[in-house]
Chain A
Amino acid sequence: MTTAAQPTDVWEHELLLTGCQAVSHAVKLADVDVIAAYPIRPYTEVMDQLSQLIADGELDAEYIIADSEHSQFEIVKHASSVGARAFGGSSGTGWMYGMEALAVTATDRLPPLFLVGNRALDDPGAFGVEHNDAMSVRDLGWLICWASTAQEALEHVFIGYRVAEDKRVRMPMALAMDGGFLTHAQHMVKVPTLEAVKQFLPPYDLGDRVLHPDNPISVAPQVNEDWVMELRRQNWEAARRARGVIKEAYKEFNGVFGSHGSQYDNPYFTEYMTEDADAVLIGIGAVCMPTQTAARRLREKGHKVGYVNLRWFRPFPTEELRACLGRFKGVGVIDRDFSQGSPDNGGILLQDVRSCLYPLRGDGPNVINFMGGLGGRDISIDECIDMYERTLAAGRGNVPEEIVSWIGLRE
């Protein structure tokens, strides 16, 4: 569906697209060479779209229907190793099935991009969103970033490849989006011109690490205790450098697209009504919709609340987030994931936020945790209002003994 929006130098047109469809447009514009597919809801739609683009001659790429996610991810990894820009993706239990391949893609320092349409892990079966799938690679050397609109999803294919493929980084990129709420929700999306994308995203160049008969290298030989420490250290340095490379990429992105309506003030997270706030909620993904509406309603009544929408999860924006959250008295962390048996027996994001705030000690905000929306359950505006109120109370010093509470749970 095309609207009457005027084409500009950077935007080709504006279309009504789901998150998955937006990503398929971006994969085409990024001139991806190899795509490997395996069906699992909800990410699959991106592969349905891409196969059609290839069938219609709009995208020139190899399209392989793999026999499992393990094969799918290995195909993507090895395509990347010969210098092809490669794309894969999965959801929930499919992502877990290929876990071994995901681990080595990172330790091989290869930079393909994967779409993770977040889905609850089995058992029991549930199609809805939970973030444990994408978060399961958080310790393995992956870049992990969440889009919360279809526009962001499209743009982060370009940003993702650019950061991942940068010589200083070379880490695989997981672009995550909430299953259903974004993979299948339609938004108006501005689709850029090929020229604008080319201006921002250079071709993939693996340099002297590319496998080709003219470059006869041996990749990933057995190292044992002799060298593994040094190699892990290189991964560590890459993850550290990624922070700077991400900043650069957004600056460049703003340079190309910023004056045309797509501008990122902060690469890592977006703040909403946080100025002068006493308490904020922080969350990931589509929960930004009800939380922002709830913040507006509470502001109308004079409550100083705001929302922080976290985009980048790995590398974690430690300093930026500490500076941001340190301004408030209460912080409520919403986890659409779980970490059973963890220090607070709460969510994964909670642990990272608390450790990021730890250096502030007593000067930092009081932090509480909300577990909610698991398996795709809706988080309502009323529930968000309740979370804000409890976070305001925590900010005033009323921190419950059990800092983790479950939202929208049948009692």
Chain B
Amino acid sequence: MATTLPMIDYEKIKKVHDAPLEEFYTSGHRTCQGCESALVMRDFAKASGPRTIATGATGCMYVANTSYQTTPWVIPWMHTQLGAGGASAVGMAAGIRALMRKGKIAKEKINIINFSGDLGGADMGLSGISAALQTDYDLLIILYDNESAANTDIQATGLSTYGAVTTFTPSGKKRRIMQRRWKKNVAPMLAIGHPTCRYVATASATFPALDFMNKTRKALNVGGPTFIHTFDPCPKGWDFHPGYSRELGELGIKCGIFPLYEILDGKVTYTYDPHKKGRIPVRDYLVKQGRFAHLIDEDFDYIQGMVDTMWEEWELPGIAPIKSGLEMASR
């Protein structure tokens, strides 16, 4: 039983100076210098504003973020379990809807936003997020992806880049590469698998400027359950100087290993379109990170080949790993 509520109707932020000045994620956290996941927090809170309740799954954005008595959150925030991101948003959205419908609290639009890390959201909590995207609640799930279980000291997850050294996938004398899984294609999986979920996007907190804040606003404006997957360079886990976080995000997108797009009602828009702008070599992105220092030419070639396939052979370039599906069907 849905209750129709007035939407907040956010405006698109056109210039950096037009971004709201108020912060809803402020001092008090103790994330690493150069932590892009922390910027994701700051930006979604800024974009969504004060009529928001957030839940945060276990991970760096809980443990490093929210120490007792020094919370950075100005909006109400609650911890949720590692794999419970989707369920936490559903529970709150359901509670709020029932209370409003039954006249127990005032009727207004309240944003429910969950953020989960790549291990929590894309591995353990995938089923819960999938279930959340099948509901008709207004909720936004942000998968902040630093490509490792960063909080537990950098272990590989289903979203870690092929070849990356982590504490579970070291490079050794016999095996140069232990991380042999190709990054799970989460956002498209969720978009394709949930036809009634109207908005799915990928984003980076810093490139292109304002893109993530505007995607957050778009998700909230569109309403219903929505999903954004962010690409967050992590100086500690990726082993680079914190001064280069923004640049690495940009390189990752420009080399095509992390495709940037949004899908609204099934329509894909590339927010960084390599077809028009070209792709830089993946190697230029990889060599700037200590986690790939052990790779040799054949590894770079393999990764480049996979990325080329994504963009040149997939029916929906960079998004859906289906080749020539339409031709087959028409034959």
Pick the residue among B53, B81, B95, B102 that contacts A86 (CB under 8 A).
B95
CA distance A83 to B100 in the complex (A): 11
- CB of B202 closer than 8 Å to a CB of A: no
- CB of B52 closer than 8 Å to a CB of A: yes
Q: Are A70 and B66 in contact (CB under 8 A)?
A: no
0 or 1 for each of A21-39: is its CB under 8 Å from B? (1 = yes): 0000000000101101000
Chain A residue total in the interface (Cβ 8 A) = 44
Q: Which residue of B lies closest to A205 (CB)?
A: B104
Given A33-B95, A78-B91, A221-B66; A71-B55 close (CB under 8 Å): no
- CB of A325 closer than 8 Å to a CB of B: no
Given A219-B79, A221-B66; A71-B84 close (CB under 8 Å): yes
- Please name all residues of chain A whose beta carbon is closer than 8 Å to the beta carbon of B128 when the two chains form the complex: 67-68, 70-71, 74
CA distance A221 to B76 in the complex (A): 12
The residue in A36, A82, A219 that gathers the most chain B C-beta atoms within 10 A of its C-beta is: A82
Q: Are A100 and B81 in contact (CB under 8 A)?
A: yes
Q: Are B68 and A211 in contact (CB under 8 A)?
A: no
B249 CB, min distance to chain A CBs, angstroms: 27
CA distance A199 to B77 in the complex (A): 34
Given A60-B101, A223-B68; A74-B94 close (CB under 8 Å): no
Q: Are A82 and B99 in contact (CB under 8 A)?
A: yes
Q: Are A84 and B67 in contact (CB under 8 A)?
A: no
- Please name all residues of chain B whose beta carbon is closer than 8 Å to the beta carbon of A215 when the two chains form the complex: 76
Q: Are B102 and A75 in contact (CB under 8 A)?
A: no
Q: Are A68 and B127 in contact (CB under 8 A)?
A: yes
Q: Are A212 and B131 in contact (CB under 8 A)?
A: no
- CB of B92 closer than 8 Å to a CB of A: yes
Pick the residue among A34, A67, A78, A84 that contacts B88 (CB under 8 A).
A78
Q: Are A82 and B53 in contact (CB under 8 A)?
A: yes
Residues 45 to 93 of chain A near chain B (Cβ within 8 Å): 60-62, 64, 66-68, 70-72, 74-84, 86
Residues 94 to 113 of chain A near chain B (Cβ within 8 Å): 100-101, 104
- Please name all residues of chain B whose beta carbon is closer than 8 Å to the beta carbon of A60 when the two chains form the complex: 1, 98, 101-102
- Please name all residues of chain B whose beta carbon is closer than 8 Å to the beta carbon of A78 when the two chains form the complex: 55, 78, 80, 87-92, 95
- CB of B263 closer than 8 Å to a CB of A: no
Residues 47 to 84 of chain B near chain A (Cβ within 8 Å): 50-53, 55, 62-63, 66-69, 71, 73-81, 83-84
CA distance A17 to B41 in the complex (A): 51
Pick the residue among A33, A67, A76 that contacts B102 (CB under 8 A).
A33
- Please name all residues of chain A whose beta carbon is closer than 8 Å to the beta carbon of B198 when the two chains form the complex: none
Q: Are B79 and A75 in contact (CB under 8 A)?
A: no
Q: Which residue of A lies closest to B79 (CB)?
A: A220
Q: Are A64 and B81 in contact (CB under 8 A)?
A: no
B76 CB, min distance to chain A CBs, angstroms: 5
CA distance A215 to B78 in the complex (A): 12
CA distance A33 to B88 in the complex (A): 16
CA distance A176 to B290 in the complex (A): 55
Chain B interface residues (CB < 8 Å from chain A): 1, 50-53, 55, 62-63, 66-69, 71, 73-81, 83-84, 86-92, 94-99, 101-102, 104-105, 110, 127-128, 130-131, 135
- Please give me the 5 A-B residue pairs with the lowest Cβ-Cβ distance, nearest first: A78-B91, A84-B95, A74-B87, A79-B95, A67-B131
- Given contacts A72-B87, A213-B75, 14 further A-B pairs with CB under 8 A are A33-B98, A60-B98, A62-B95, A62-B98, A80-B91, A81-B78, A83-B95, A86-B91, A212-B76, A212-B110, A217-B76, A218-B73, A221-B67, A222-B66
